[in-house]
Amino acid sequence: MSAVPTAPSLTPQQRKALRDQHPLYRRLSGEGVWVFLEELGLDEGQCERFMDAFFRQMDHILSCMAALNASSRLRGQIIGRPEDCCPACATSIGRYMSSGGGGAWDLLPPFGIGCPLSLRLGHPEEPPAAGSTLLPDAVKEPSILCARLAADPADGLRRFLAAVQPADTEI
């Protein structure tokens, strides 16, 4: 078994370049996310907690993207709990990707604001979990809001915050 891959440190320029490659992050600003949350009826405190978690999740995903770009020996696995996300996103859990080449970045989580899915890095010699497949099967059409968050903002917020905890620093 190989050592767990570590997150590379990113310069502001690298972060921006990676954000521009991500299917959701390239479409958003922090202000835009905040407006979506307010329109869902979340109060200022809820919006602040969401934004803290949202930026932690983004930092993690961007670090994974950088690591996958830097090493052809890594692959990323989409992780999360099916009960925490919408049915469409739940079908992505367990799938793998190897790098951003060939449009694979179009299949990176999160798939919308409030999507609790993440990415875990591993090495190709580690066997995939039973039932997992390599991406892409089909390109998921990204939406701006997670369907779970849009349908029930309070429950969607609770599930998102639970999934994107500060203790989740491993990539």
- Cβ count within 10 A of residue 79: 18
pLDDT of residue 80: 93
**Average pLDDT of the chain?**
81
Sign of CA dihedral 159, 161, 166, 171: positive
pTM of the model: 0.82
Give the span between the Cα atoms of 25 and 14, in whole angstroms. 14
Share of the chain above pLDDT 70, in %: 77
SS3 22: coil
pLDDT of residue 164: 87
pLDDT at 89 over 50: yes
Q: How confident is the model at residue 141 (pLDDT cuts 50, 70, 90)?
A: low
pLDDT at 148 over 60: yes
Give the span between the Cα atoms of 6 and 164, in whole angstroms. 18
pLDDT at 42 over 50: yes
SS3 111: coil
> For 91-95, 97-101, 155-159, 166-170, which range has the lowest pLDDT when averaged over its residues?
166-170
pLDDT of residue 53: 95
pLDDT of residue 61: 94
Give the span between the Cα atoms of 157 and 149, in whole angstroms. 6
- Cβ count within 10 A of residue 14: 16
- State pLDDT tens for residues 44-56: 999 999 999 999 9
SS3 113: strand
| Rg (alpha carbons) of the chain, rounded to whole number | 15
pLDDT at 88 over 50: yes
Is 54:36 a contact under the CB 8 Å cutoff?
Answer: no
**DSSP secondary structure letter of residue 85:** S
Mean pLDDT of 4-26: 84
**How does 48-57 read in b/e, with b if 16+ C-beta sit within 10 Å?**
eebeebbeeb
Q: How confident is the model at residue 129 (pLDDT cuts 50, 70, 90)?
A: low
Mean pLDDT of 103-117: 85
